[in-house]
Amino acid sequence: MDFVLIFSDSAVGKMTVGKALMERTGLRLFHNHMMIEPVLEVFGEFNLSAIEKTREIIFDEFLKTNQQGLIFTFMWAFSEPDDWDYVQALHDKFTSQGATCYYVELVVRPAWVVTWW
């Protein structure tokens, strides 16, 4: 099984890239907002505990399947130690079940940068 973590700042294109990768590879896509938006709707506010618990259920159940792999999108705040711990826990969860983990960072260059080919 493969686990692909696509991460970046907000509004960079994680879901768009994730969908394209899903179409090309057959891996399933678990976009971060698939958990955030329903929790916001139900609770009327951001409830991190509910989001994290729901994500964990999805990951744990996915690891029990025969699926080829999972693409997960996440806004990783490098300045937050909790985010580093979370990514390490995801890595450990998937590799302990024999998965290969891949990390894809999306970066937007400022418009004034000119690249010559």
For the chain, the structural domain boundaries read: 2-105
pLDDT value for 10: 84
Q: Once rounded to an integer, what is the mean pLDDT over residues 98-105?
A: 96
For 80, the token pair is: 């937050």
Q: How confident is the model at residue 15 (pLDDT cuts 50, 70, 90)?
A: very high
For residue 9, pLDDT over 90 is answered with: no
Contact predicate 15/113, CB 8 Å: no
| Superfamily, domain 2-105 | P-loop containing nucleotide triphosphate hydrolases (3.40.50.300)
Paired with 103 in beta bridges are 5
CB-CB neighbours of 23 under 10 Å:
10
> Pairing relation of β-strands 2-7 and 28-30?
unpaired
* Side-chain half-sphere CA neighbours of 114 within 13 A: 1
